[in-house]
């Protein structure tokens, strides 16, 4: 699939879009575009199902080349994303992740784990469940606070005690822990049986991670800038409040290039003896201060070690490091907690 300057348009057939990128199937369903669209074009299908065509295309195109928006959309007045449609899309995505995707992965994980090592299986599941709880909280905050706030804005009301900057500041990437899990299973899980099942759950985790990253990017680079613009409009022209339902898009799509790949050398990824000690302390539940005291180093040095460990292993959370420590025999399972 070539990514060269691909830009979906309203006169293309919906089926062509799906052929070009099957990941669009999930985008379509979140917009409420159901299957069975036959030979309909994007615009026909959207109009028939009351979906804002431009908003759908904006997301579909953003998905292809995450950074295209800022350059492309400057001065065409008809280019307007509907915030209502966008919020609907984001809410549907939340439902998809929480009620379908994450539970499915859990079920597959449950089937794939090797119960001859039951403690390890238990820890991995516990790690996963804690992660899902975090995602649940993250999304509940967006549903109950952020989207509600924007709905008020869309009605022309500006709540005093909130602004989108608060969300922007605290909004974090929720896929990071999933990437921890992926690292643990791919690199360290001693799988003797169930290899096909393990692979299948890994595929799901990879695709869920991509999907979550896209979701967060849409929130950061499309949703937040639109809301900011709306806030500004409400402040500057209060008499026009009731009219403002749609906004011209000027997102600040920042091109964050993640994970620049460098040549791998063994040393870069192998833990030093001191780092192994730190990992084992993390697994035993020590705080940074306690580790510093035990190892006769400064807390600052502990933090530097932890940063290096995260970089080398691609595991960032204490729970993930605990699993790593067990698998690599840096601690005994009884020593934990
Ligand atoms: Fe979200
Ligand atoms: Fe989010």
Residue 203 is predicted with a pLDDT of 93
φ/ψ of residue 172, rounded to 5: -115, 165
Report the candidate in 325, 302, 300 with the shortest Cα–Cα distance to residue 313: 325
Chain centroid offset of residue 32 CA = 21
Distance CA 247, CA 150 (A): 13
Q: Relative to the alpha carbon of 96, which ligand is closest?
A: 1
Q: Are strands 80-82 and 246-248 parallel, antiparallel or unpaired?
A: antiparallel
Q: How far apart are the CA of 232 and the centre of ligand 2, in A?
A: 22
> Which parts of the chain register pLDDT below 70?
1-6, 66-79, 191-193, 237-267, 337
Between the CA of residue 126 and those of 267, 312, 326, what are the distances in Å?
A: 31, 24, 14
Give the ligand with the smallest distance to the CA of 90.
Answer: 1
The confidence score (pLDDT) of residue 240 equals: 52
Residue that is written with structure tokens 């500004």 in the block: 232
Q: What are phi and psi for residue 12, nearest 5 degrees?
A: -80, 155
Q: From ligand 1's centre to the CA of 300, what distance in Å?
A: 34
**Roughly what angle, to the nearest 10 degrees, separates helices 83-95 and 224-236?**
140
Rounded to the nearest angstrom, the distance between the alpha carbon of 131 and the centre of ligand 2 is 14
Q: What is the pLDDT of residue 191?
A: 66
pLDDT at 324: 87
Report the pLDDT value the prediction gives residue 92, as an integer from 0 to 100: 95
Q: Are the beta carbons of 139 and 171 closer than 8 angstroms?
A: no
Closest ligand to the CA of 175: 2
Q: How far is the CA of 289 from the centre of ligand 1 (A)?
A: 35
123-to-130, 136, 166, 199, 211 alpha-carbon distances in Å: 10, 20, 34, 19, 25
How big is the chain by its Cα radius of gyration, in Å? 23
- How far apart CA 120 and CA 63 sit, in angstroms, is 37
Q: Which residues pair with 13 in a beta bridge?
A: 41
Q: What is the DSSP letter of 271?
A: P
In angstroms, rounded to a whole number, what is the distance separating the alpha carbons of residues 128 and 135? 11
> How far does the centroid of ligand 1 lie from the alpha carbon of residue 39, in Å?
32
User: Residues for the chain: how many in total?
Assistant: 337
C-alpha 298 – ligand 1 centre gap (Å): 39
Ligand nearest to the CA of 95: 1
What pLDDT is attached to residue 313? 86
Please provide the DSSP assignment of 129-153 as one string: HHHHHHHHHHHHHIIIIIHHHHHHH
Distance CA 213, CA 219 (A): 10
What does the pLDDT read at residue 265? 59
CA of 253 to the centre of ligand 2 (A): 16
Q: Which of 175, 188, 207, 205 is nearest to 105 (CA)?
A: 205
pLDDT of residue 252: 34
Q: What is the SS3 assignment for 39? A: coil
Q: Is the CB of residue 93 less than 8 Å from the CB of residue 87?
A: no
């Amino acid at each position: 699939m070539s990514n060269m300057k691909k830009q979906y348009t309203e006169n293309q057939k919906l089926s062509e879009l799906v052929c070009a990128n099957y990941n669009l199937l999930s985008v379509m369903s979140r917009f409420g575009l159901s299957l069975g669209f036959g030979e309909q074009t994007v615009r026909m299908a959207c109009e028939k199902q009351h979906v804002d065509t431009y908003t759908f295309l904006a997301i579909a195109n953003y998905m292809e080349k995450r950074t295209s928006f800022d350059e492309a959309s400057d001065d065409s007045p008809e280019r307007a994303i509907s915030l209502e449609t966008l919020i609907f899309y984001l809410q549907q995505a939340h439902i998809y992740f929480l009620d379908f995707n994450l539970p499915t992965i859990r079920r597959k994980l449950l089937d794939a784990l090797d119960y001859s090592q039951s403690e390890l299986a238990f820890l991995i599941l516990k790690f996963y469940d804690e992660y899902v709880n975090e995602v649940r909280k993250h999304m509940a905050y967006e549903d109950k606070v952020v989207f509600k706030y924007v709905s008020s804005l869309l009605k022309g009301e500006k709540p005093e005690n909130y602004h989108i900057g608060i969300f922007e500041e605290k909004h974090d990437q929720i896929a990071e822990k999933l990437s921890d899990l992926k690292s643990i299973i791919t690199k360290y899980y001693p799988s003797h049986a169930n290899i096909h099942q393990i692979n299948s759950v890994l595929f799901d985790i990879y695709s869920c991670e991509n999907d979550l990253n896209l979701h967060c990017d849409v929130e950061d680079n499309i949703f937040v800038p639109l809301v900011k613009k709306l806030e500004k409009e409400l402040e500057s022209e209060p008499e026009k409040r009731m009219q403002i339902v749609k906004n011209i898009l000027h997102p600040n799509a920042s091109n964050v290039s993640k994970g620049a790949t460098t040549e791998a050398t063994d040393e870069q990824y192998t833990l030093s003896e001191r780092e192994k000690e730190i990992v084992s302390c993390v697994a035993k539940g020590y705080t940074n201060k306690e580790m510093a005291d035990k190892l006769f180093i400064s807390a600052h040095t502990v933090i530097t070690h932890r940063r290096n460990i995260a970089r080398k292993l691609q595991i960032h959370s204490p729970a993930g490091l605990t699993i790593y420590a067990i698998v690599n025999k840096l601690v005994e399972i009884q020593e934990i907690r």
